[in-house]
Amino acid sequence: MTSPSTTLSLVDSDPAELAVDAIVIGVYSQRPEGDATADGFADTLLLAAGAESIAAAFDGNLTRTLALLGATGGAGEVTKVATLGTVSAPVLAVVGLGSEPSGAAPAPETLRRVAGTAVRALAGAGRVALALPLPDDADAPAALRAVAEGALLGGYRFAGYKTKPQPTLRPPVAEVQIAVPDAADAAAQAEIRRAAVVTAAVRLTRDWVNAAPNELRPPSFAEKVTEAAQAAGLGVEVLDENALTEGGYGGILAVGNGSAAPPRLVKISYTPAGAEGGKRVALVGKGITFDTGGVSIKPAQGMWEMKSDMGGAAAVAATMLAVAELKPAVAVHAYVPMAENMPSGTAYRPGDVVTMYNGKRVEVLNTDAEGRMVLGDAMARACEDGCDYLLETSTLTGGQVVALGKRIAGVMGSDELCERVRVAGDATGEPAWPMPLPDEIRKGMESDIADILQVQAGMDRSGHMLQGGIFLREFVTDDVAWAHIDIAGPSYHSGEATGYWTKGGTGVPVRTLVALIEDIAANG
C-alpha cells in the first residue's frame, strides 16, 4: 500500500503571475515600532520577503485585509484570501512565521514546519506555489531544503483501508512549485532532487509504521523490505527462523518464538565502487512488528499503538533506499531484526537465561524489554561483520518519553558520535539529546547467574532509558564508535497534524541517518 505523493519543482517567474491554484506567502507577527496604517491603528503584520509582487497587486492593502480577517502572524497560522483576479492564482494562503527574525530569513526548521502546514491546509488544490522568504547567502541551500522537505511531508496522508470514498476528505496537493531567484541553478536543483529522495524514504517509513499489524508481521515485513531493497539495487540477506537457530541468534529467537509468525533478520548492503578499505557504517533498527509485552503483558489501553514498535526498523530500511539513490562514498550495511512479541506456550519467560549471538548470557526479568534482546543480536552481528560506526535506532523505552518528551530523541554511546548525531538532528529538525551511561546503573544490572540482567535488579525503573543504552553497549566491540538513538516518543505522533508531522508515524530519524551517512562519507 503506497500513499499518494506530491511532485516538486522550482520556478523563477513573478509569483503574482504563476498559473497555480494557490500561492503561499509568509507574514511576520510584528512591524517596526511607530508604523501604523492609514486608519491610525497599529499594523501588527509584516509581509515576508517573496511577497513583494503580491503586495503590490493588492495596492498595499494586503496586511490590513489580513488583520481584519483575524490574522496574527503566529507561527503556522494559515489565512486564506480569495484574490478575485488580483493575481493569477485564485487563492492566496498567508502563513504565519512568528516574530521577524534578526537574520535575513526564518530558521530552516521554521520554514520546514510552515511549508508543511500550508501545503496540508491547501488539500484539494492541484498545483500550489510557495513564495516563502529564502536567504541569498550561504544559508540558502539549508533553507531551500527545509521548504522542500516540509512541503513534501506536510501533505502526506496514509492511504488507509477504507472501502468507501470519503467525499469530505480532499486529496493532497498534487504538485508544489517553490519560487527561487534562479530555477536553473545547479545547487538549487540538487537540493530539490535530494529532498525528493529523502522524503520518499520518510513517507515509506510512515507507510510501514501506519500499516495494520496483521498485515505487517515479521515474514511479510521482511518480504516488503527485501522487495524494495532489491528493486533499488541493494544486496539483501534474509535469515529465517531456521537460519537464526543455526546461527545462534538467541535474543531474536527468544522474543520471536512466542508468535505464530516467526522472526527474521534482514541484512541490506550498499558498497559503492572504490569503498574497499574505507570507513564502514552499520545501521541497526528495532523491528518489533507488534508488542503485547509478551508474558509481562502490557495494559490494554493504548496497546494498539504498539504496531509502531518497528519504527526503528522501518527508518533504517527506508534510509538504505535513500542511500542507494544518493550514492554516498561510504559502505553502509543495515541489520533489521524483526519479531512479534506475543504471549503463548512458546514465549520466553521472566527468569529465562538467553544466550545471545555474541555468547553473552542474559537473565530475563521482563519480557516487555524485548527490543534490547533482538537489537543485541543484530548489533553483535554488525560488529562481527566489521564496521567503524554503528548507528542503532529504536522505540526502546518509555523512559525516553518521560525524560525528553515526544519530540526529542535520547542518544547514548560514544561521545564523539553522539555529538555528531545531535548536530545532524538539529540541522534536520529531528533533535536528539546526548545522555550518560552511569556506572551505578550498570552495577544494578549485575546478575547472580548470568552475565547481565536484561533490566535493573528489582525491576527498578530509575534511569530506564539509560538502562537500555547500557545493555546495548554489551554488544558493541571496543573498536567501534556507536550511538543508540531512542525514538520512543518522536517516531509516532498520536495527536492532530502539526507542521510537517501528520498523525501516526513520523519517519524519525530517517533524515538524521541520511545526514550522518553523508557526513561520514565526506569527513570520515
HEC secondary structure over 195-243: HHHHHHHHHHHHHHHHCCHHHCCHHHHHHHHHHHHHHCCCEEEEECHHH
The pLDDT of residue 277: 80
For the segment 280-307, the average pLDDT, to the nearest whole number, is 97
> Using CA of residue 362, residue 367, residue 372, residue 377, what is the dihedral sign?
positive
Cβ count near 79 (within 10 Å): 20
Q: What region does 18 belong to: left with phi over 0, alpha with psi -120 to 50, or beta?
A: beta
The CA distances from residue 227 to 98, 222, 266, 464, in Å, are 44, 9, 12, 37
Contacts 24+ apart (CB under 8 A), 426-429: 427/108, 427/142, 427/515, 428/511, 428/512, 428/515, 429/108, 429/109, 429/112, 429/113, 429/146, 429/511
At 345-365, the pLDDT tens digits run 999 999 999 999 999 999 999
Poorest-pLDDT segment among 36-45, 101-110, 170-179, 191-200: 36-45
Is pLDDT at 40 greater than 60 in this prediction?
A: no
372 labelled catalytic = yes
Least confident piece of the model among 23-32, 143-152, 257-266: 23-32
Residue 362 β-bridge partners: 354, 452
The answer, yes or no, to whether residue 258 has pLDDT greater than 80, is yes
List the alpha helices (DSSP H) in 72-165: 108-121, 140-154
Find, among 354, 409, 358, 353, the residue nearest to 379 by Cα.
Answer: 358
| Cα gap 151→78, rounded to integer Å | 14
Nearest to 326 by CA among 520, 145, 517, 524: 517
Q: Is the pLDDT of residue 31 over 70?
A: no
What is the rounded distance in angstroms from the CA atom of residue 207 to the CA atom of residue 301? 23
Determine the pLDDT at residue 11. 97
Q: Please count the residues of the chain.
A: 524
CA distances from 422 to 284, 285, 343, 410, 490 (A): 18, 18, 37, 9, 14
Catalytic residue among 298, 360, 442, 473: 298
% of the chain exceeding 90 in pLDDT: 90
Q: How many CB atoms lie within 10 A of CB 50?
A: 20
Q: Is 421 in a helix, a strand, or coil? A: helix
pTM (2 d.p.): 0.96
The pLDDT, as a whole number, for residue 21 is 97
pLDDT at 1: 57
| Nearest to 452, CA basis, from 481, 472, 478 | 472
pLDDT in tens, 478-510: 999 999 999 999 999 999 999 999 999 999 999
Give the pLDDT confidence score for residue 303 in this predicted structure: 96
Give which of 195, 210, 165 is closest to 6, Cα–Cα: 195
Q: Determine the pLDDT at residue 363.
A: 98
Q: Count CB atoms within 10 A of the CB of residue 384.
A: 11
Mean pLDDT of the chain: 95
Residues 76-85, mean pLDDT to the nearest whole number: 96
C-alpha cell at 233: 539495487
In the block, cell 534578526 appears at 102
pLDDT digits (tens, 9 = 90+) for 198-251: 999 999 999 999 999 999 999 999 999 999 999 999 999 999 999 999 999 999
Query: If pLDDT is split at 50, 70 and 90, which confidence band does 33 have?
Result: low
- pLDDT bracket for residue 102 (50, 70, 90): confident
pLDDT at residue 272 tops 70: yes
Give the rounded distance of the alpha carbon of 104 from its chain centre: 28
Answer whether 3's CB lies under 8 Å from 171's CB.
no
Q: Can you say whether residue 413 is alpha, beta or left, with left for phi > 0 and alpha for psi between -120 and 50 degrees? A: left
503 is known as an active-site residue: no
Say yes or no to pLDDT of 66 above 90: yes
Residue found by looking up cell 472501502 in the block: 163
- Residue 34, pLDDT > 70, answer no
8 A C-beta contact, residue 339 and residue 288: yes
User: Which residues, 6 or more positions from 515, have their beta carbon under 8 angstroms from its beta carbon?
Assistant: 424, 427, 428
SS3 label, residue 305: helix
Bridge partners, 486 (sequence order): 394, 410
User: Of the residues 113, 157, 286, 372, which is catalytic?
Assistant: 372
The predicted structure's pLDDT at residue 38 = 45
**C-alpha span between 24 and 257 (Å, rounded):** 53
Q: What are phi and psi of 264, to 5 degrees?
A: -145, 155
What's the one-letter identity of residue 293?
G
> How far apart are the C-alpha atoms of 377 and 400, rounded to whole Å?
22
Tens-place pLDDT, residues 182-203:
999 999 999 999 999 999 999 9
Give the model confidence (pLDDT) of 401-436 as tens digits. Answer: 999 999 999 999 999 999 999 999 999 999 999 999
Contact 370/355 with Cβ under 8 angstroms? no
Closest CA to 413 of 451, 383, 458: 383
